[in-house]
Amino acid sequence: MNRVDVLGVGFDPVDLDGAVGSIVALARDPGPHLVVTANVEMVMQARLAPDLREILHRAALVVADGVGVVWGARQLGRSLPGRVPGIDLAGRLCDEALRRGWRVCLVGGAPGVADAAAANLRLRHPGIDVRRALPGYFGPEDDPAVVRAVRDAAPTLLLAGLGSPRQERWLHRHLASLGAPVAIGVGGTLDVWAGRARRAPRIMRTLGLEWCYRLIRQPGRLGRQMAIPRFMAAVWLDRWRPRPR
């Protein structure tokens, strides 16, 4: 499937169902496959960071995490079938994990968050095989121990909520050693599953205003969210850029 270019980042043209289907197919072989849910912040970061561009380029699947990317594609005369919010994708993959007997491993969040997220997953999906839950605040010196703990758990699906783009860099660097056929960065999903953070109300999500809710809850995100107007400006510049005939 041809990727849809949005300011230099290629997105797979899939909606939520399509993304789940692709990942089910990816999980059939040992991989390892990296799946990235990329929003406008990541697109803007990738413009300045060649290593991140390369990670996105080599990822098995890159989905549009948010209305901004879908809007950008449309402005550029391209089309993406819809947004694929990381937290929704992760939730749907847990349904598949239960149905297909996948082993799941969670890494991320403050101490206790991954454990609480795992406990709630087991309540919500009785019978799900969550093998390990590991905290996400560790330095490079701890990488070998964390990688070994994941590999020993032999997960089919690794969900890493280490903040983006740290989680994508970390997963890419250790992908071959982690032993998981599919690894995905899930941002703040584990905080929500653990009950430590809330998602925006449904109406705001439907209107594509999740970013606004997060800004109200965490005003410290303002700097990061300046990526949104910069993204819009870059899309319009790209749209009106004279092209060779």
Task: By CB under 6 A, name the binding residues for ligand UDP.
Answer: 108-110, 136-137, 161-164, 166, 187-188, 190-191
Whole-angstrom distance, CA of residue 233 vs CA of residue 245: 24
Which residue number, 115 or 191, has a Cβ lying nearer to ligand UDP? 191
For the bound state, the minimum distance from the C-beta of residue 118 to ligand UDP, rounded and expressed in Å, comes to 14
For the bound state, the minimum distance from the C-beta of residue 46 to ligand UDP, rounded and expressed in Å, comes to 14
Which residue number, 220 or 242, has a Cβ lying nearer to ligand UDP? 220
Which residue number, 36 or 97, has a Cβ lying nearer to ligand UDP? 36
Whole-angstrom distance, CA of residue 98 vs CA of residue 94: 6
Give the tokens for residue 98.
Answer: 């239960």
For the bound state, the minimum distance from the C-beta of residue 21 to ligand UDP, rounded and expressed in Å, comes to 24
Which residue number, 78 or 169, has a Cβ lying nearer to ligand UDP? 169
Whole-angstrom distance, CA of residue 96 vs CA of residue 92: 7
How large is the angle between the packed helices 86-100 and 16-26, nearest 10 degrees?
Answer: 50
For the bound state, the minimum distance from the C-beta of residue 127 to ligand UDP, rounded and expressed in Å, comes to 26
Distances (CA, A) of 147 to 70, 77, 90, 164, 170: 34, 42, 21, 19, 10
Which residue number, 78 or 221, has a Cβ lying nearer to ligand UDP? 221
For the bound state, the minimum distance from the C-beta of residue 172 to ligand UDP, rounded and expressed in Å, comes to 15
Per the CB < 8 A criterion, the answer to whether 59 and 68 are in contact is: no
Residue number of the CB atom closest to ligand UDP: 136
Whole-angstrom distance, CA of residue 166 vs CA of residue 148: 19
